[in-house]
Structure 1
Amino acid sequence: MTKITTYKNQLTEIISRYRNHVDFLAIRVEYSEETNIILRGNQIDTLSEGIASGGQVRACYRGGWGFATFNELSTLNQRVEEVIAAARLVGDEETRLAPIEPVQIDCQLPLTGTDPRHVPLSQKKALCDHYNVILRSLSEKIATTSVRYRDSTQNILLATSEGTLIKQSWADLEMRFSATARSGETLQTGRETIGSRRGYEDLIGLEQQIQGAAQRALNALVLPPVKGNNYTVVIDPILTGLFVHEAFGHLSEADMLCDNPELLELMSMGRQFGPEILQIFDGAAPQGHRGSYFYDDEGVPATKSQLIHNGVLVGRLHSRETAGKLNERPTGNARCLNYHYPPLVRMTNTWIERGETPVEDLLTDIQEGIYAKNWLGGMTNGEMFTFSAGEAWMIRHGKLAEPVRDVTLSGNVFKTLGNIEAIGNDFYWDESGGCGKGGQSGLAVGCGGPSLRIKEVMVGGEAA
């Protein structure tokens, strides 16, 4: 943080010099340290440690934005002038930024474990090798494996023409594992991802989970494919977290709504989307998760925002501009992956609140259904979603029955929310998320939720 601290006076002086040329001016300087390790099979694909430093300038004039990045502080005056010229060239309306209180503060997300910068590269590589051996040695049918390690420590200084001056830092860690098993022409893959903003120790002791990923791939080789049909489905908390993030969370991001009047009308406040037992939240204020921070990249304090209350839409996620355009309060959801990109409206930690139904009762009276667990992949397109389960079982007469493979869940998010029949009293935070939007992929997020029981879900598999 010492390197960042030296920039304070320079940024304040430049902001003061140019602040009256535009409606809003912000300079964000970043210094980061990163480690990347990728093993594919028994080969080292990537083994690197790096340092990156640079910054970005944003200016708004009459609703028009200018943006530029820089790597040398000596060029900052030139970048600021270019950005101001660009904003004045395109601005022809009104700058509508929701007001916030300026703040001057130094803050650091606390680590409860070891700072990854204090762990030697050789030790991180040895951990990857250890996990790779577990994946590869389970069976000769394991055809390919992949182990990915990444840690990143970001130190950020944000100065704005409104008087905000925030110094903020955090460390983020992630490991991804996959194993693909082969039997003849049949290929099946098992995956596992672990993320943390707490410390290096969270990546140690994962042997059982990693072996489970390889075992899922092996098991799926001999499992029968599910018969495609509409089923009542019970999903575990990990799939619930994926569902609420991908299928509903992105639709709550207000920049998508401002540019799409039809979607804005669809996502109108007060609309009933689910049963009264349904509560959905997003926010960076809850501490200890991968989407947690103190201030977003516009200097807005982190919040806890309720999106769905008793099944009714009551909130959405904002930058200052989208909040200003829709006359709502900013929620602290303007985030950028790093200084190369401007902030966009992004989720932080998104979750469905736990319910009151005992998990074992979720299966009760389902004559034929599906229990789906963990995730393998997925995609969304507007209101429509498709997710692949990592594991699945048939439910017969209220009990778990035979396991099946190739289970994909798809449907319309609004219909699916309305078809939630029960919400379990369990809950799990999945810290494995890396969200993509607008070319900014891998932004750390948290997802959480309980088990859900949902009727009339289209399950794809073998033709019935």
Structure 2
Amino acid sequence: MTFTLHHEADQLSDLIQRYRSQVDYLAIRLESSEGSDILLRGDKIETLSEGMAIGGQVRVCHRGGWGFASFNRLDTLVARIEEAIAAAKLVGNEETLLAPVDPIQTVCTLPLTGSDPRAISLAQKKTLCQHYGDVLRSADPKIATLSVRYGDITQRTLLVTSEGTLIEQSWADMEMRFAATARQGELVQTGRETVGSRSRFEDLTQLDDQVLGAAQRAVAALSLPPVKGGTYTVVIDPILTGLFVHEAFGHLSEADMAYENPDLLETMSLGRRFGPEDLQIFDGAAIAGHRGSYFYDDEGVAATNTQLIQDGVLVGRLHSRETAGKLGETATGNARCLNYHYPPIVRMTNTWIERGKTPVKDLFSGIQEGVYARNWLGGMTNGEMFTFTAGEAWMIRNGELAEPVRDVTLSGNAFQTLADIEGMGDDFYWDESGGCGKGGQSGLAVGCGGPSLRIRDVVVGGEAEEE
């Protein structure tokens, strides 16, 4: 079941014309979605569902104040428009500042390169989850618990605005998450993997080695010594680089964080140096084939690729039309919403550090004692401070990989860590496992990537040194 776009577009345009003179800006967005959700825990399927949703949202701006309403029935749309207008007029007492954009009328679909998830039966998806559960279980008898989660969603949207924009977009997104926990006595270790795609269902069907690796890492960690806590020169792999640039730096580049926080806005002053001269950081949805890619954001702004750091200097940030208008900058096409229940807010898309020129093996040269960290297990950020847990790690001794260690957490200040980058590898990897959370909207698909990095003076948590 979907809405009939040609008919609904005419209806929405008529309503826009009726109410546009009452406010500074009016947008109506309709959405149709369908998807699957499966959760295997242990040997039991706990969730097995398919669903469809149809709804929409109204956004109104008047004298700088916003009104928002969501709905599931088109026959209530007039009431929702009037509610949103009333709310905007209740709070609006300034000037509406929205960065200008050209109105667009278009229909666009992110192309699939293989099977559409809607063409795969729920039974086949269930069998795939059970297969991966068997793979995790086969790693070792020490695997105590495991989980496999499958999800897909196909969304189709129609956006109509008072400025003349009318955009129909559609895309499909798929993701699988794997976790295996190994136990030996009181010691517990976990391995995780996540794989996502906006290209084809087949991207989720040939993952045995990757899934088995998660369980094997958990088992292997049971017999490893914990790292000795301290400050080290650290080499991280591209997956951790992607996590770092997204979590520790990318969120600080979202302009709503800055214009609402004068201290952060001063810290994130354009033209300020944050890293070495060869450091380049970007975010953009205009590159094709990644989970954060699209043609237009949820305000109808064309996707761009925005350089955030150029030659180590901050040169850009990510914007909605409102944040760009308030800061006198250009909208970047980064206003996104998870679904029609939420208004668009400034969100990353695909965020990456550009490939460096140093051969990866040379990143280890000259390190007398350090840590090499790969993959991710978890993490958290608080403003500019971050803590990440590596999926696996080794000590570096005299420029060479030495013994593997466990319980490696990397902590620091994002700005200081950027300044402490000593080398960037000539490798690069795109991680499509991201599901970003912000403002109550969790699970928004993003991509992140980068090269291996060498960073000095990283605080590595672990077992305390004996005195």
Instruction: Determine if the TM-score, normalized by the shorter chain, exceeds 0.5.
Output: yes
Is 1:357 aligned with 2:358? yes
Give the match for residue 54 of structure 1.
Answer: 55
Aligned residue for 1:366, secondary structure, equals: coil
* Post-superposition CA distance 1:24-68 (Å, at most 9, x none): 000000000010000000111100000000000000000000000
TM-score by length of 1: 0.99
Q: CA deviation at 1:343?
A: 0.4
Give the match for residue 372 of structure 1.
Answer: 373
Q: CA deviation at 1:146?
A: 0.3
Aligned residue for 1:158, secondary structure, equals: strand
Map 1:291-440 to 2 at 5 A: 291-440=292-441
Map 1:202-351 to 2 at 5 A: 202-351=203-352
Q: Aligned partners of 1:236 and 1:227: how far apart in 2? A: 20
Give the match for residue 43 of structure 2.
Answer: 42
- Amino acid paired to 2:417: T
Q: Aligned partners of 1:175 and 1:355: how far apart in 2? A: 30
Q: Aligned partners of 1:177 and 1:344: how far apart in 2? A: 29
Q: Aligned partners of 1:52 and 1:4: how far apart in 2? A: 15
Gap runs ≥5 in structure 2: none
Q: Aligned partners of 1:5 and 1:345: how far apart in 2? A: 29
Aligned residue for 2:164, secondary structure, equals: coil
Map 1:47-196 to 2 at 5 A: 47-196=48-197
- Amino acid paired to 1:289: H
Kindly indicate whether the alpha-carbon contact (under 8 Å) linking 2:373 and 2:390 is maintained by their aligned counterparts in 1: yes
Q: Aligned partners of 1:175 and 1:133: how far apart in 2? A: 15
Kindly indicate whether the alpha-carbon contact (under 8 Å) linking 1:4 and 1:155 is maintained by their aligned counterparts in 2: no
- Amino acid paired to 1:27: I
Q: Aligned partners of 2:246 and 2:11: how far apart in 1? A: 39
Aligned residue for 1:198, secondary structure, equals: coil
Q: Aligned partners of 2:335 and 2:178: how far apart in 1? A: 30
Kindly indicate whether the alpha-carbon contact (under 8 Å) linking 2:26 and 2:60 is maintained by their aligned counterparts in 1: yes
Aligned residue for 2:222, secondary structure, equals: helix
- Amino acid paired to 1:276: E
- Amino acid paired to 2:230: N
Q: CA deviation at 1:7?
A: 1.2
Q: Aligned partners of 2:46 and 2:245: how far apart in 1? A: 34
Q: Aligned partners of 2:82 and 2:228: how far apart in 1? A: 62
Q: Aligned partners of 1:50 and 1:427: how far apart in 2? A: 37
Q: Aligned partners of 2:155 and 2:384: how far apart in 1? A: 34
Q: Give aligned-pair identity as a percent.
A: 73
- Amino acid paired to 1:389: A
Kindly indicate whether the alpha-carbon contact (under 8 Å) linking 1:4 and 1:31 is maintained by their aligned counterparts in 2: no
Q: CA deviation at 1:136?
A: 1.1
Q: CA deviation at 1:3?
A: 3.1
Kindly indicate whether the alpha-carbon contact (under 8 Å) linking 1:4 and 1:30 is maintained by their aligned counterparts in 2: no
Aligned residue for 1:290, secondary structure, equals: coil
Q: CA deviation at 1:137?
A: 2.0
Aligned residue for 2:4, secondary structure, equals: helix
- Amino acid paired to 1:200: F
Aligned residue for 1:7, secondary structure, equals: helix
* Post-superposition CA distance 1:424-447 (Å, at most 9, x none): 000000000000000000000000
Aligned residues: 464
Kindly indicate whether the alpha-carbon contact (under 8 Å) linking 1:225 and 1:461 is maintained by their aligned counterparts in 2: yes
* Post-superposition CA distance 1:389-425 (Å, at most 9, x none): 0000000000000000000000000100000000000
Aligned residue for 2:435, secondary structure, equals: strand
Kindly indicate whether the alpha-carbon contact (under 8 Å) linking 1:4 and 1:29 is maintained by their aligned counterparts in 2: no
Kindly indicate whether the alpha-carbon contact (under 8 Å) linking 2:3 and 2:32 is maintained by their aligned counterparts in 1: no
Q: Aligned partners of 1:9 and 1:95: how far apart in 2? A: 27
Q: CA deviation at 1:2?
A: 6.2
- Amino acid paired to 1:444: A
Q: CA deviation at 1:323?
A: 0.1
Give the match for residue 13 of structure 1.
Answer: 14
Aligned residue for 2:219, secondary structure, equals: helix
Aligned residue for 2:134, secondary structure, equals: helix
Gap runs ≥5 in structure 1: none
Kindly indicate whether the alpha-carbon contact (under 8 Å) linking 1:375 and 1:390 is maintained by their aligned counterparts in 2: yes
Aligned residue for 2:302, secondary structure, equals: coil
Kindly indicate whether the alpha-carbon contact (under 8 Å) linking 1:4 and 1:156 is maintained by their aligned counterparts in 2: no
Q: CA deviation at 1:4?
A: 3.4
Aligned residue for 1:297, secondary structure, equals: coil
- Amino acid paired to 1:427: F
Q: Aligned partners of 1:256 and 1:367: how far apart in 2? A: 40
Q: CA deviation at 1:140?
A: 1.2
Q: CA deviation at 1:5?
A: 3.7
- Amino acid paired to 1:21: Q
Q: CA deviation at 1:258?
A: 1.0
| RMSD, aligned α-carbons | 0.7
Kindly indicate whether the alpha-carbon contact (under 8 Å) linking 2:355 and 2:428 is maintained by their aligned counterparts in 1: yes
Q: Aligned partners of 2:250 and 2:125: how far apart in 1? A: 34
* Post-superposition CA distance 1:357-378 (Å, at most 9, x none): 0011110111100000000000
Q: CA deviation at 1:138?
A: 1.6
